Structure 1
Amino acid sequence: MWGIYLSLTGLLVLLTLLPKIQNSHWIFRVSEFGKIQITYVVLITFILGFLLDQPQHIWYSQSLLLLLFIHHGVTLVKYTPLYPVKRHKRQHESSQKLHFISANVYQFNKEYERFIQLIKKYKPEVFMTMESNGDWEQALKVLEKDYPFQHKVTLENTYGMHFYSKLEIESAQTHYFVADDIPSIEIHLKTEDGFSFVFFGVHPPPPSPTEEETSKERDGDLLSAAKRVKEIHEPVIVVGDFNNVAWSKSSILFRKTSHLIDPRIGLSFVSTFHAKYRLLRFPIDLMFHSEDIFINELKTLENFGSDHLPVYCEFFIDHHNDEQEERVQEATQEEKAEVEEMIQEGKEEDGNRDEVVTEG
Structure 2
Amino acid sequence: MGIVFFRYFLKKKKSIESTKKRSILAGLVIGFGILFLLFSKKFTSFYNFPVEQIQNQMTGGIKVLYANIYKNNTDYVAIEELIKQENPDLIFFVEFADHHYKHLKDVLETNYPYSNSTIRSQKYVGNMVFSKKEINNRADNFPQGAWRYGYFSVMYDNQPIYFYLVHASSPSNPKFFHMRNVQIETFFKDFDLHKEVHRERNDKVVVIGDFNTSPWSIFYWKFAEGFNREFVNITRSLPILFTRKSVGFPLFWSHIDHIFANKLVFIKELQVINIPGSDHKGFSFWIK
Structure 1 unaligned regions, length at least 5:
1-7, 13-36, 45-68, 317-360
Task: Say whether 1:273 aligns with 2:273.
Answer: no
Cα distance, 1:273 vs. partner?
0.8
**Which residue number corresponds to residue 139 of structure 2?**
173
1:186 aligns with one of 140, 146, 151:
151
**Which residue number corresponds to residue 297 of structure 1?**
269
**Contact 2:116–2:137 (CA<8 Å) still a contact in 1?**
no
**Contact 1:176–1:183 (CA<8 Å) still a contact in 2?**
no
- Residues 149/87 of structure 1: CA separation in 2 closer, same or farther (3 Å cut): closer
- Residues 166/311 of structure 1: CA separation in 2 closer, same or farther (3 Å cut): same
**Which residue number corresponds to residue 14 of structure 2?**
none
Q: Report the identity percentage.
A: 22
Determine helix, strand or coil for the equivalent of 2:266.
Answer: strand
* Residues in 2 aligned to 1:145 and 1:182: alpha-carbon distance in whole angstroms: 27
Cα shift readout 1:16-66 (whole Å, capped 9, x = no counterpart): xxxxxxxxxxxxxxxxxxxxx97732467xxxxxxxxxxxxxxxxxxxxxx
**Which residue number corresponds to residue 218 of structure 1?**
180
Determine helix, strand or coil for the equivalent of 1:305.
Answer: coil
- Residues 183/42 of structure 1: CA separation in 2 closer, same or farther (3 Å cut): closer
Q: Which residue type is aligned with residue 117 of structure 2?
A: K
**What does residue range 132-171 of structure 1 map to in structure 2 within 5 Å?**
132-142=96-106, 143-153=108-118, 154-158=120-124, 160-171=126-137
**Contact 1:106–1:308 (CA<8 Å) still a contact in 2?**
yes
| Paired residues, number | 250
- Residues 90/266 of structure 1: CA separation in 2 closer, same or farther (3 Å cut): closer
**Which residue number corresponds to residue 47 of structure 2?**
80
Cα shift readout 1:243-299 (whole Å, capped 9, x = no counterpart): 111342222222222232111234334321118787532111111111111222323
**Which residue number corresponds to residue 97 of structure 1?**
61
**Contact 2:169–2:176 (CA<8 Å) still a contact in 1?**
no
**Contact 1:79–1:267 (CA<8 Å) still a contact in 2?**
no
* Residues in 1 aligned to 2:32 and 2:91: alpha-carbon distance in whole angstroms: 34
Most deviating of 110-119 and 254-263 = 254-263
Larger Rg: 2
Cα distance, 1:201 vs. partner?
0.6
2:72 aligns with one of 104, 108, 111:
108
Determine helix, strand or coil for the equivalent of 1:221.
Answer: helix
* Residues in 1 aligned to 2:216 and 2:35: alpha-carbon distance in whole angstroms: 18
* Residues in 2 aligned to 1:165 and 1:290: alpha-carbon distance in whole angstroms: 22
* Residues in 2 aligned to 1:311 and 1:111: alpha-carbon distance in whole angstroms: 18
Most deviating of 233-242 and 154-163 = 154-163
Most deviating of 157-166 and 235-244 = 157-166
* Residues in 1 aligned to 2:92 and 2:36: alpha-carbon distance in whole angstroms: 38
Structure showing the higher strand proportion among its residues: 2
Q: Which residue type is aligned with residue 280 of structure 2?
A: H
- Residues 43/260 of structure 1: CA separation in 2 closer, same or farther (3 Å cut): closer
**Which residue number corresponds to residue 40 of structure 1?**
33
**Contact 1:85–1:265 (CA<8 Å) still a contact in 2?**
yes
- Residues 265/78 of structure 1: CA separation in 2 closer, same or farther (3 Å cut): farther
1:255 aligns with one of 224, 230, 234:
224
Q: Which residue type is aligned with residue 89 of structure 2?
A: E
* Residues in 2 aligned to 1:43 and 1:129: alpha-carbon distance in whole angstroms: 31
Structure 2 unaligned regions, length at least 5:
1-23
Q: Which residue type is aligned with residue 207 of structure 2?
A: V
- Given the two structures, how large is their TM-score scaled by the length of structure 1? 0.61
**Contact 1:237–1:288 (CA<8 Å) still a contact in 2?**
yes
RMSD: 3.1
2:94 aligns with one of 130, 134, 158:
130
Cα distance, 1:167 vs. partner?
1.6
